[in-house]
Every structure is written in C-alpha cells, then in structure tokens.
Amino acid sequence: MTTTVERPSKTASKSTAGKSKERRRTPFWRRVVRDRTVLLLALPGMAVIVVFQYVALGGNVIAFQDFQPYLGIGRSLWVGFENFSILFNGDPEFLQALRNTLVITALQTVFVFPAPIVLALLLNSLVSNRVKQAVQSVLYLPHFLSWVIVVAIFQQMLGGAGLLNNWLRSRGLETIDIIGNPDTFYALITSQVIWKDTGWATILFLAVLSQIDRSLYEASAMDGATRMRQIWHVTLPAMRPIIILLFILKLGDSLSVGFEQLILQQQAVGLGVAQVLDTYVYNNGILGGAWGVSAAVGLVKGLVGLVLVLVANKVAHIFGEEGVYRA
C-alpha cells in the first residue's frame, strides 16, 4: 500500500531530470542489450564478490544446524539455538578465549592505538623534509611483511639464541626468557603490533595534519603559543574527527585480534593465554569438526562487532562528531 502511494511522487521528482525520464522509456531488455559490454566487464569481478562475500555470508545458517560436512547444508538437521548454548552455559574454554580476547583488545587500545598519533605528531614536527621522508620510508616497511616473517624476526631477536640474549650472555649477564613465556606473552604480541603497523598507521594522520590551515598556527604564535600549546589547541582539535573515526572502526574489530599472529605463537606459549575467539573458531571448527558451535561463535562475534560500530557511531553523533557515516 505504502509503495503504491510513494511511487507516483518518486517518478514525478525524477522526471524533472530529463535524462532519467528518457531512460525510463527504454525497455529493460533493450537496456540490457545496449549495456551488454559493460555487464560482461562487470560479470567476473561481481561473481567473485557475490560468491565469496554474499553467498558465503549465507553459510552462517549452519550456526543453527547440527552441520555435517558429508550431508551439506541442505540435509543437515536444524537445531535452533542449541549451538549458542555454549555462549550462555559458560563453557570454560570459550570463556577463556573471550577473556583473552578482551585483555588483548584492552592492551591494544591503550598501547597500540595512540602510538601512531604520537609518531605522526613527532614526524610532523620535523623541520627537514628529507629527514622526515627517510624516517617514513624506514618505518612504513614492516607493514608490508607477513605475520610469519614478523613473528620469525621477533623470535630471532628475543629468543633463547637470539640477538638480545646472545649479547647479554657475552656480557656475562642473566638472559631474559621472552619467547614462549606466558607471563611476557601479552607484552610480546603488543610490541609486535606496534613494530609492524605504527609507521604505516601514521599515513592517515599525516594526511590530515598536512591539511591544517597554516594561518591557525601563525595566529596562535602571534598570541604567544608555544609549540606544545599549538599541538594542544590547533593540531589535536584538527585530528579529532579522524581519531574518532578510527576509534569507532577499531571498536568493530575489538573481538577479532590478530588471528595469524596468535595462531603462529599458540604452540609455543599454550592455549591458556593465546586462545582468542578467532583461534577458538579455527581450532574447534576447522580442525576439531565442531562446525555448528564454531560458526555460532563466529556469527555472534561478527554481530557484536557490527552493533559496537553502530552504537559508537550514534554516540559520536550525540556528542556532535562526524563519526564514520551519517545515516
């Protein structure tokens, strides 16, 4: 009913643009024939996106099934919310993974998130452009290395036979046990993330910094602002929108912490500290065959992330910020 009422008004408003009026007159099949090359060009790429994003998304229904790979989705039994009971019954392994995930996310929010902001301010304050570019080239590099390489590098640097301990040994000092030690594990993975991505993450902040109106700095300098004062009153306010935007996006990811990074180091340090939700899904689902339960955990994780982004965006709007998008 509503649609029939709305439709005439829509056409009316659209017909003001002469182009769409003409388009409306061309029959559908004739437009298909006319645009066949465009459609053919779009086809393979769209097929990949549709199959591996949208069709795959539909695969989440197995969270409501007692899924058996040899039966497939069509013939597996539907079990309603049974798979989700693990989330509420307090399965110790699941709770452990959840707790570890939250601890790691908290650490990353406190230590990893601000690091590129500080580094960007530091780089931005350099007088010489050549020094700045040289430092950038070096610090961006680790971002392009895979996690396997980063983990291997850290082992070689900090492991038992690594650079650090060799040096300590040559001085006759006590060696430090960092790799494979549960007590230092969180410090280790946090510093790995900082090492790998802090440089690269400055790129967005630097882009924003380069857009700040120079007259703001001049005016504040005339008023006697020191360099620190300028950062506080000019630079940081200009960075606020991008900081908030990235923080909201980070919230959406807060339940997925570095799958590759953790799966690589789990063996050495044990599941007690290194099992997170993503590795739980992998270990129990793909390796362990508990398909339905793992899919349920994955689904809830995705939904929580989505809800966090939506809520955070709303909160940002309430405080008068731009947020990620405006609906």
Partner 1 sequence: MTATQTGSAEIRPDHTPRRRRRAPLIDGVPRPGPVESIIKAIVLGVACLLVVLPFLGILSTSLATPEQVIRAGGFVLFPEGIDLTAYRSVFAGGAVTRALLVSVFVTGVGTLISLTLTAMLGWALSRRGSIANRQLLMLVLVSLLFSPGMIPSYLVVQRLGLLDSLWALIIPTAVSAFNVIVVRAFFVGLPQEVMDSARIDGAGEWQTFRYMGLPLAKPVLAVVGLFYGVGYWNAFFNALLYISDAAKWPLQLVLRTYVVDGNQIGAQDLGTEAALPPQTSLQMAILVISIVPVLIVYPFLQRHFAKGMLTGAVKG
Return the range that interacts with partner 1 (CB under 8 A); candidates 6-14, 78-86, 94-102, 196-204: 196-204
Q: Which is nearer to partner 1, 110 or 161 (CB)?
A: 161
Using rule CB under 8 A, residue 21 touches partner 1: no
Q: Which of 8, 18, 27, 45 binds partner 1 (CB under 8 A)?
A: 45
Using rule CB under 8 A, residue 41 touches partner 1: yes
Q: Which is nearer to partner 1, 224 or 319 (CB)?
A: 224
Amino acid at 159: G
Non-local (6+) Cβ contacts of 118 within 8 A are: none
- Residue bearing tokens 């452009």: 129
Using rule CB under 8 A, residue 104 touches partner 1: no
Question: Which residues within the stretch 65-94 sit at the binding site for partner 1 (CB under 8 A)?
Answer: 69, 72-73
Least distance to partner 1, CB of residue 89, Å:
21
Using rule CB under 8 A, residue 260 touches partner 1: yes
Q: Which is nearer to partner 1, 70 or 319 (CB)?
A: 70
Q: Which is nearer to partner 1, 298 or 323 (CB)?
A: 298
Using rule CB under 8 A, residue 15 touches partner 1: no
Q: Which is nearer to partner 1, 9 or 210 (CB)?
A: 210
Least distance to partner 1, CB of residue 234, Å:
9
Question: Which residues within the stretch 214-253 sit at the binding site for partner 1 (CB under 8 A)?
Answer: 214-221, 226-227, 230
Least distance to partner 1, CB of residue 319, Å:
23
